[in-house]
Chains A and B, each alone.
Chain A
Amino acid sequence: AQSVAQPEDQVNVAEGNPLTVKCTYSVSGNPYLFWYVQYPNRGLQFLLKYITGDNLVKGSYGFEAEFNKSQTSFHLKKPSALVSDSALYFCAVRDETGGSYIPTFGRGTSLIVHP
């Protein structure tokens, strides 16, 4: 079975400060990990993914994420937050060997960037 946890319902950060949105996962085999962002009244948009290779993955809008196998984490980061980054962020995981083509999504973390 595969699962993902986003331990924070909400993250508050001041504009210009670095931000981190946390994600931990559980899979039997190797993970495929994804981050998506959802703006109000919109569908989810793909930000970045980790499949294999370099543990630091860079994605859209200046976001990056670090894969840590020993801590089973895939935290989303950005060096300098913008007010326009305020949105709902979802982490998702697929087990490479689990046989399911469907990702499991976390419950989402609301990011609020204050001016």
Chain B
Amino acid sequence: KAGVTQTPRYLIKTRGQQVTLSCSPISGHRSVSWYQQTPGQGLQFLFEYFSETQRNKGNFPGRFSGRQFSNSRSEMNVSTLELGDSALYLCASSSGQPAYEQYFGPGTRLTVT
């Protein structure tokens, strides 16, 4: 089975711009979660989509949004970028059941200048 893929792997954006990140989960997985990883804050949960519906949401401002398509692929959008949004954004897919582990993609490294 192919793993979780994320595109692009690296991005450099200017403050005030917006960005869209993409994630393709493992075939058959219906849950896609997004995390922001920074050295200071660790791994922070952004949101989770299950069967095209947002099922859980973390404590991030409304500038962070996402969606999931019928083929389970997911996109995450960040509008009006701030310097503090520079981070590694990780996507994780799973079956969506609590006892099952998540499979992470390699991440998208976003740098905001």
Chain A residues at the B interface, C-beta cutoff of 8 Å: 32, 34, 36, 41-46, 49, 51, 90, 94, 96, 100-103, 105-108
Contact = CB atoms under 8 A, between A and B. Distances in A.
Contacts of B97: 101
16 contacts: A42-B107, A43-B92, A44-B43, A44-B92, A44-B102, A96-B98, A101-B31, A101-B48, A101-B96, A102-B45, A102-B48, A105-B42, A105-B43, A105-B45, A107-B42, A108-B43
B30 to A, nearest CB: 11
Contacts of A102: 33, 45, 48, 56
A51 B98 CA distance: 10
Contact of A42 (B33, B43, B106): B106
Query: What range describes how many residues of B lie at the interface?
Result: 20 to 34
Interface of B: 4, 31, 33, 42-43, 45, 48, 50, 55-56, 90, 92, 96-99, 101-107, 109
A107 B42 CA distance: 5
Given A105-B45, A107-B43, 5 more contacts: A32-B99, A49-B99, A90-B43, A100-B56, A108-B42
B42 A49 contact: no
A94 B106 contact: no
A42 B99 CA distance: 24
Contacts of B102: 44, 46, 103
A98 to B, nearest CB: 9
Nearest to A90: B43
Contacts of A34: 101
A43 B101 contact: no
A103 B101 CA distance: 9
Nearest to B99: A51
Contacts of B98: 32, 94, 96, 101
A45 B92 CA distance: 10
A45 B103 CA distance: 7
Given A101-B96, A102-B33, A44 B104 contact: yes
Nearest to B6: A43
